[in-house]
Chain A
Amino acid sequence: DTAVSQTPKYLVTQMGNDKSIKCEQNLGHDTMYWYKQDSKKFLKIMFSYNNKELIINETVPNRFSPKSPDKAHLNLHINSLELGDSAVYFCASSQAAGAAYEQYFGPGTRLTVT
């Protein structure tokens, strides 16, 4: 059983479209995250939820909107996609909020905007 899963694994779309990425964790963790990894491999946090509550909201365009329907799921919706949104998006989870807990990453969603 995969601990942190994401769908889809690959997403190719055109500029201006709206798309969603879904994430689920079966570890019983309270906290979930979205990270963006660009072509240079820089890994940057975007959002974090703890028990469905948004606790980290980095400087991210408001075209990006996360949603956590329950503590096992975290989705990311992106409106009006731009070329610069092309990246790998990783979902992660940790036992609790507070960065001292190890984070478990999903396999990633490679988004290509053409």
Chain B
Amino acid sequence: GQQVMQIPQYQHVQEGEDFTTYCNSSTTLSNIQWYKQRPGGHPVFLIQLVKSGEVKKQKRLTFQFGEAKKNSSLHITATQTTDVGTYFCAGITGTASKLTFGTGTRLQVTL
């Protein structure tokens, strides 16, 4: 079945440093979504990417969808303590009606 892996599994940064998480799928994706889950919270939708090579920005967050539509990345510039949480990518294959969530990257930010 489809597998979606994320690296790193965990990253600890100092506030102000940049952070990137990478998402890799075993199959070509039609869309990819990103979610953030704060500690003790629930996943919250951040963005969806659809087109090959697409880049979208939300303030300090930059999302990219690979040219082959098998990978994606989320980059956070100048992290803040409010960025703490686990970031999940979630891929959709073809006309599948379900999301396959990645393994997640836990981000810890300290002052």
Contact = CB atoms under 8 A, between A and B. Distances in A.
Interface of A: 41-45, 48, 55-56, 58, 90, 92, 97-100, 102-108
20 contacts: A41-B103, A41-B104, A42-B103, A43-B43, A43-B88, A45-B100, A45-B101, A48-B97, A58-B98, A90-B43, A98-B95, A99-B31, A99-B90, A99-B96, A99-B99, A100-B92, A103-B43, A104-B45, A105-B44, A107-B42
B74 to A, nearest CB: 16
B96 to A, nearest CB: 6
Interface of B: 30-31, 33, 37, 41-45, 48, 50, 86, 88, 90, 92, 95-101, 103-104, 106
Which applies to chain B's interface (DSSP): helix, strand, loop or mixed?
strand
A90 B99 CA distance: 14
B42 A108 contact: yes
